[in-house]
Structure 1
Amino acid sequence: MKLAQRAAGISPSPTLAIDGKAKQMKAAGIKVINFGVGEPDFDTPENIKLAAIEAINAGETRYTPAGGTVKLKQAIVDKFQKDNGLEYQLNQIAVSVGAKHSLYNAFQVLCEPGDEVILPAPYWVSYIEQIKLAGAEVVILPTRQENDFKLTPGELEQAITPKTRVFLLNSPSNPTGSVYSREELAALGEVLLKHNITIISDEIYEKLLYDGLEHISIASISPELKENTVVINGVSKAYAMTGWRIGYCAAPTPIAKAISDLQSHSTSNPTSIAQAASVAALNGPQDAVYEMVAEFDKRRNYMLERLTSIAGITCPKPKGAFYLFPNVSAYFGKSYQGKTINNGTDLANLLLEVAEVAIVPGIAFGSNDNVRLSYATSLENIKEGLDRIEKFLAELQ
């Protein structure tokens, strides 16, 4: 039996691989501190769970329109108006099985073989695989830590070719936590409009911002940019609803329709019960979100202070999401009991094996000098995990 070339070329997710190995060790009775997973450690708020139960009891367990219920689409339209100053019609919204699915659908309807997609690095691990599955070519555009891992207009301009079809923007960023300002987005947008390049803007971490920052969607900069942008979002990160699998996009009508049509022949509708719960998430009180963000902020500050106090480790302060992306290259070339650390992957493997701490090597995100740590775990775990990391690094020769 022969696999199709597109299937054979898929690389497994390094983040899920690390998380899976950590869970196997935990099942074996080992207390692993897991900084690898990108998932809030809070429970879904009660009003959202109650809405799902009410939907079940009301018999909302049948097919819905492929692109989402009218109630959920209206809640999304209202959210964009209230939070982002963006006006969309119901037919410009498509609800999918998680934001990852929304991204996949967007690449599928926008990209063809021979097209190029500009992807700033560091990047979320699934972007590359999704672009490849759409038949397009990935153009990786490295960013610099000294610029907070943000792209400049000049760097973007140099990467554009006649084949460039899409630019992928992720702000707040996974894995770096960097956030673009309105002025920075406007400058990038000017370049993209000049070359008529479509923007896919992944804004899944929109509500997880710190230091008084306001989220700015690039689609809100101007009407012209809105017409050139597909905004991706969802309920998983902000509302601790990762397992509910509801994402959505807002886009010009032809793109939204194409996504809904594509989805009608793949997954059909997202789960009806999860859609009802998502209406409650978007329309209901936001207190639980604010509480989560406040707790994430405490963890961010503690983890950053501890990490950067370790000799050789540098890390910009993340402005959003729940990750730190420290540079650990000062430890390359060192060894532990005869095992040499040549890169971030070696360091991550030894940390898990010896210190029983799970982190994700930066090569998964396109940056070999870094590793990613998630602070979506308790402060108690963070303290113990950093104690173990500090002890392990001090023992390297």
Structure 2
Amino acid sequence: MSIKHDWITTPITTDLLRGALDLERTAHGVLPHRLPAWARAQCADGQLALVETQPSGVRLVFRTRATVIELDTLPTKRVYVGVPPRPDGVYDLLVDGRLAGQASVTGGNTLTIDMATGTAEHQPGPPGTLRFTGLPDGVKDIEIWLPHNETTELLALRTDAPVEPAPDRGRKVWLHHGSSISHGSDAASPTTTWPALAAAISGVDLINLGLGGSALLDPFTARTMRDTPADVISLKIGINLVNADLMRLRAFTPAVHGFLDTIREGHPTTPLLVVSPILCPIHEETPGPSAPDFTTLSTGQLRFRATGDPAERASGKLTLTVIRDELARIVAQRAAEDPNLHHLDGRDLYGAVDFAELPLPDGLHPDAATHRRIGERFAKLAFTGDGPFTNRSA
């Protein structure tokens, strides 16, 4: 027997969203963006357009007495030709900061990507509804974390009791930028990407500008970070510049300086941590670009390989080793006049010993267990003791 509820529909507005920098009104509802409209207008790259709408770190946050919550969404699901289907995106429900439920939405739009030809086809589909029931009675703070790897239009929020914006808890805001690893890659759910885990452990509010394939020192990303209020900031730089084979060392060094200069225009004394790449054996000494290894598809798994020539390092091609050395040098040079600028070797988050135990399944991206390890280590190294993000350092 179904139970009838007196539903209250609450408009989804910016005061109910955390982690998004823009909210676009669409024909169906609203679409959270992780880059503002002016920044999106400066780059026509389809990869960036896709990943910045995948709401990693974006969550609905509100206070309510409701015991039942429904959310209508229109997801866009990726399908790769020749690759086993990806699971539906996961929504994590937190009640007073604790995981209380998970759900997925079937249906939705489909984006079919052919990596062999570089083409993509969009097929429209129906919206779906996720439902959380049996929530504890009484006033509580609710967070619904949207799927980190699935573009998600928000259509309607329904509850059986009124909703109001959650009060500001006065927590530090951590602004982070990085690659698909920071975006969440193969994490199990949106609250278990390594930045989300580190934020939860450290008691800070996350704004995640991890942009899969798009941590490319773009000036509009630096300006976005410059203009976004934050108490602590981190940049994870390297792997995308190698696997995209985007620039040479001659361009890399001034681009890093320029990126840091721009952030400092808006955050002159904010603790700023530059993180070099985690270990990735295919690109430690071999330049990019990366390419899918289609020979592995017969086993049901996609892997990546490095297609550059190690000898090309002499002409300025970037490898992870080159980038780590140069980032350490740049930060040491600038830190003489910028005591709030810090450096972390990414291999302290995931190095050779970790790779032996938890190898990267596709050659590039960490799995769920590795996300947890990286998140726990980052929280310890950045937010505790003498870490750059402790109150003592700020």
TM-score clears 0.5: no
Higher strand share: 2
TM-score computed with the length of structure 2 as normaliser: 0.24
Higher helix share: 1
